[in-house]
Amino acid sequence: MLIGVLCWSALAAHAADTAWADKYPEQTKLFTGSAHQGAGLKCADCHAADPKSQPARDKKAIAEMCATCHSDVRKMNAYGLATDQLDHYKTSKHGEALFGKGDQRVAVCTDCHGIHDILKVKSPQARTYPTNIPQTCGRCHSDAALMGAYKLPADVVDKYKTSYHAKMVFEKGDLSGPTCVTCHGNHGATPPGTKEVGQVCGKCHTRQRELFGKSPHAEAAQAGLISECVGCHGNHAIQKATVELFGTACVQCHAKDPKQLALRDTISGMLRTAGARFVQAQERVRDATIRGLATDDEQLFLQEVKTQITQLEALQHTLSTNNLSLVAARAEELVSQTLKDVDRLEQIEQYKRRSLLVIWVFLSVMAFLFWAKHRQLEQKTAL
Amino acid sequence: MKLPVKIRGWLADRYEIGVVEKFVEQQAHKPLPQETGFWHTFGSLSLFLFINQVITGILLMIYYRPTTETAFESVRFIMTKANFGWLIRGLHAWGATLMIVCVLIHMIRTFFMGAYKKPREMTWVMGVLIFGCTVTFGFTGYLLPWNQLSYWATTVGTEITSVIPIVGVHLRTLLRGGEGVTGETLARFYVMHVVVLPWVLTGLIAVHLFLMRVQGLATMERIGEEKPIDKSKAVPFFPNHVMKEGVILCLLVGALMALIVLFPVELGEKADPFVTPEGIKPEWYFLSTYQLLKYLPKLLGILVSMIPPLLLLLWPFLDRSPERHPKKRPVAVGIGIAALFLAIVFGVLGHISERKMTFFGQKYEIDIYGVPHKHSDKTPHRGKLPR
Amino acid sequence: MNQEKTVTRRGFLDWLLGAGLGAWAFGFVAPVISYVWPAQRRGPSIQTVSAGKAEEFPEWHSKIVAVSGHPVIVVHTPQGFRAFSAICTHLGCIVQWDAGRRQIVCPCHAGFFDINGKVISGPPPKPLPEHGVAVVNNEVLVKSS
């Protein structure tokens, strides 16, 4: 009797499953291979028991439904997943609009993770895998009409794609590079305020932030007069910082301050000079190496110079010419030493040329002796 | 040179050294025709340069390492750390060029003086094989420093073999030890350069010298009308002719040292299979053939470029004239001069092609066929190889 | 009289030639011997570089030496000598030893490595490659890999 009941339940469940699959073949196909299927979920676990009923449309309901498992510590523990997503979400701009104003146009769980074909974040095909994030966010944030309603720009993803950060992730394959969520957060997505931007950038660029904190700009940033980091470097379309940035960044505020512009010129001048001298030394060492001169020590010096210049690039955030001149002076010392050494190597080549003269003199004498002997023998034969 | 009495006595008790001494005497004082002059020194000079190559080659082998990871570094070590390493390397690299020059002058001299004719046809044939061997030495040795020039010149050079129908691709694979130029190529070229070719060349030179010594040097008389050497006017090989060779040797060594110091051999950049430098060309002794191949469709080019070596090899059997004196052989001399002229013209074209030059202030871009075009930034790349 | 003079002149010429040839031979042999004599203790297959005497290397001190043209930082720990490539894995700056923290630090962007070469904090993406070190006859020898 018991066996009969068990068999009948299994059959009934199977029949129910098949009912869902028959009615919704597309969704079943998408569900196959998904993380939820792998965890043993079935259609009825999210949808109502009756396949004929409508799927959930209200985003608030979706968020709360996902949270029934994903905010339950006991359920998520075995999978090692966090359970604070909904709490974070409620603090995000998306969450505030949905839960506060009932705005159904914002993103909710399914918009970013997918509906039936949700994959683990670590899977490269997942919508939330780092290389797919810009595209996922861009579904809404590149939609001009949608963004226009919130008075938000619709070009942020395009700008990001031109940035050095995008190059890191997409061209160099360095997944530690930032995507949208690195700076904005994921579930608690909020653009960082002007006071917090520095902290976001400082997550990776620790040294630069530390040094910036020692500069006169730090106060201005605290007072909200300038945006820390973003004020000079930009945000979404950020490029690799070069000395050229001095030409465009400072005049944004100091266009009419000759004193500050003079300081700018001094600092950028130091960087330019150090860079130019390094290139000069590098080319001379390279030429000497190709010629076959012994440039081992000089190549080591060049690596040291490069170290000093990289330090300069970070140090300039302090805007203090004292530290900078020390490091610049060390770089120049090394460059001079390198160039002197290459001169010395070429001097040795000069000695070789001088000894050539000696050799020629010797050979001329020998040739003359051979010739004289030859003449002597000919005369002897003639006798 | 006489042996000290005691040593001579010890040897005489055991061996027929009288025979050896007589032979050495004969060879040393061998009478040469009185016309034998300074033009006849280039054979010995070539031999001297070969011995130079062997000695400097052995010395280089002490520090050279024939793998792709270490070859370039080992050459760098030789040039920067080993005492006089730059000199040994310079002697070897420039010595190779001078050896080819001397062998060429020797061949040209022999050709114009008709010395290849009966009974010396086989001496000539040996000589052409020696020339082939020398040039192969140059080709295999060129790869060993494993720098950009080496790598790409070898790639271009071995690529040419692939146009031979049916066997071409297999021949190229055999030469390279694979698809492209790799460590396998380096290994094979090293074995050829350091073991196979030296023994082959030594054998060829031995036969060549033996034949030359046994038959004596040619004069300019007609075939069949050679007079025996007038002993009273003959030039003893040693010391008379050797003194002449000494004078020329001094000049040669002077030139060699000048080249080493004034035009030092560079280390270059380590071979990079992913970066092709501009204007890759083979060494100068291959330039005329390389340039010729550009003007002709591939297979025809290969066939045409095989003609000169074949002609050279078979020349004594094709030239029917009994005359040796150049003034009495206008046809042969004419063909010789024409061949030299063509070789030089193609060689020069090969050198200036694919280069930018400035002539009287106007920049010119020379295309692959050697035709100059006025250089402007809008000029697209001209010239395609015929397919 | 003439005969004598001719003999002396001929003899003189021969002597000169002989001396010249001898000088020539010496001029060739001397560089060759110098060449064959090892330039360094080992040839281009150099395997180790000395970082000085072990007794002159105090504990928790460091030194930078050049191995095959690359800087290597050698640190004397209580457990023995450790050596790592001194080229920071972030942007190639040359690292330094911070005796206070007992860590290897990169001055460019404050990358910190522990005494095993592993990244503790900062931007470096990979640990510092380690080089083998051995103390032979009181000499600290750093291997080239």
- Is A294 within 8 Å of chain B by CB? yes
Burial A147-160 (b: 16+ CB within 10 A, else e): beeeeeebebbeeb
Structure-block tokens of residue A298: 């000089």
Q: Which of C13, C66, C91 sits opposite A310 (nearest CB)?
A: C91
pLDDT tens track for B131-186: 999 999 999 999 999 999 999 999 988 988 887 888 888 999 999 999 899 999 99
Residue A51, pLDDT above cutoff 60: no
- Chain A residues whose beta carbon lies within 8 Å of the beta carbon of residue B81: 294
ipTM summary value = 0.83
Between CA B196 and CA B214 the distance in angstroms is 27
What residues does each domain of chain B span? 33-280
Phi, psi (rounded to 5 degrees) for B162? -70, -15
- Chain B residues whose beta carbon lies within 8 Å of the beta carbon of residue A370: 243-244, 246-247, 249-250
- Report the amino acid identity of residue A241: A
Size of chain C in residues: 145
What residues does each domain of chain A span? 260-351
- Residue B385 is predicted with a pLDDT of 39
Q: What is the phi-psi region of residue A152: left when phi exceeds 0, alpha when psi lies from -120 to 50, beta otherwise?
A: beta
pLDDT tens track for A221-244: 888 888 888 888 988 999 998 889
* Optimal mutation site among B44, B237, B240, B259, interface A, most CBs of chain A within 10 A: B240
Strand C133-136, strand B372-374: pairing: unpaired
Tell me: cis bond preceding B239? Omega within 30 of 0 counts.
yes
Residue C139, min C-alpha distance to chain A (Å): 22
* Optimal mutation site among C35, C45, C68, interface B, most CBs of chain B within 10 A: C35
Enumerate residues 29 to 58 of chain C having a beta carbon within 8 A of any beta carbon in chain A: none
3-state DSSP of B199-238: HHHHHHHHHHHHHHHHHCCCCCCCCCCCCCCCCCCCEEHH
Q: Which of C31, C44, C45 sits opposite B84 (nearest CB)?
A: C31
CB pairs under 8 A between B and C: 39
* Optimal mutation site among B59, B84, B87, interface C, most CBs of chain C within 10 A: B84
Domain B33-280 part of CATH 1.20.810.10: yes
Helix (H) or strand (E) holding A1: none
- Chain A residues whose beta carbon lies within 8 Å of the beta carbon of residue C123: 204-206
- Chain B residues whose beta carbon lies within 8 Å of the beta carbon of residue A294: 79-81
User: What's the order of all strands across the beta sheet hosting C80-85?
Assistant: C62-67, C70-77, C80-85, C130-131
Contact between C40 and B81 (Cβ < 8 Å) = yes
Q: Indicate yes or no: CB of B63 within 8 angstroms of CB of C43.
A: yes
**Counting Cβ atoms within 10 Å, is residue A83 exposed (0-12), middle (13-18) or buried (19+)?**
middle
Contact between C120 and C128 (Cβ < 8 Å) = no
Q: Touching C: which chains, 3+ CB pairs < 8 A?
A: A, B
* Optimal mutation site among C5, C9, C10, C94, interface A, most CBs of chain A within 10 A: C94
Q: Where are the beta strands (DSSP E) in chain B?
A: 31-32, 235-236, 355-359, 362-366, 372-374
Task: Per-residue pLDDT tens, chain B, 387 aa: give them.
Answer: 567 888 889 988 998 888 888 888 888 888 888 778 788 889 999 999 999 999 999 999 999 999 999 999 999 999 998 999 999 999 999 999 999 999 999 999 999 998 998 899 999 999 999 999 999 999 999 999 999 999 999 998 898 888 788 888 899 999 999 989 999 999 999 999 999 999 999 999 999 999 998 888 888 888 888 788 777 777 788 888 888 899 999 999 999 999 999 999 999 999 999 998 887 888 888 888 888 888 888 778 888 888 989 999 999 999 888 888 888 888 889 999 999 999 999 999 888 888 888 877 788 888 878 788 886 655 454 444 333
- Chain B residues whose beta carbon lies within 8 Å of the beta carbon of residue A299: none
Structure-block tokens of residue B132: 């082939």
Contact between A127 and A113 (Cβ < 8 Å) = yes
Between CA A292 and CA A294 the distance in angstroms is 7
Structure-block tokens of residue A11: 């059959």
pLDDT tens track for C32-59: 999 998 876 544 555 678 888 888 888 8
CA B214 to chain centre: 25
pLDDT tens track for A104-134: 899 999 999 998 899 988 889 999 999 999 9
Half-sphere exposure (Cβ direction) of A22: Cα atoms closer than 13 Å: 7
- Residue B256 is predicted with a pLDDT of 96
* Mean pLDDT value of segment A245-269: 91
- Chain C residues whose beta carbon lies within 8 Å of the beta carbon of residue B63: 43-44
Residue C7, pLDDT above cutoff 60: no
Q: Indicate yes or no: CB of B59 within 8 angstroms of CB of C40.
A: no
* Mean pLDDT value of segment A371-380: 86
- Taking CA–CA distances from C39, the nearest residue in chain B reads B82
Burial A220-237 (b: 16+ CB within 10 A, else e): ebeeeebbbbbbbbbbbb
Residue A2, pLDDT above cutoff 60: yes
- Residue B387 is predicted with a pLDDT of 36
Residue B217, min C-alpha distance to chain C (Å): 28
In DSSP terms, A207 is beta-bridged to none
* Alpha-helix runs per DSSP H in B263-329: 287-295, 298-318
Contact between B135 and B285 (Cβ < 8 Å) = yes
Q: Give residue ranges of B with CB < 8 Å to any C CB.
A: 59, 62-63, 65, 70, 73-74, 76-78, 81-85, 87-88
Structure-block tokens of residue C106: 């990169």
CA B224 to chain centre: 33
Alpha-carbon separation of residue A211 from A218, A324, B21, B129 (angstroms): 9, 12, 90, 74
What's the pLDDT band for A49 if we cut at 50, 70, 90? Answer: low
The Cβ of residue B74 has, within 10 Å, a number of other Cβ atoms equal to 23
Q: Which of A359, A367, A381 sits opposite B251 (nearest CB)?
A: A367
- Could you give the 3-state DSSP secondary structure of residue C38? coil
Q: Indicate yes or no: CB of C13 within 8 angstroms of CB of A376.
A: yes
Q: Could you tell me which of B385, B169, B171, B382 has the C-alpha nearest to residue B297?
A: B385
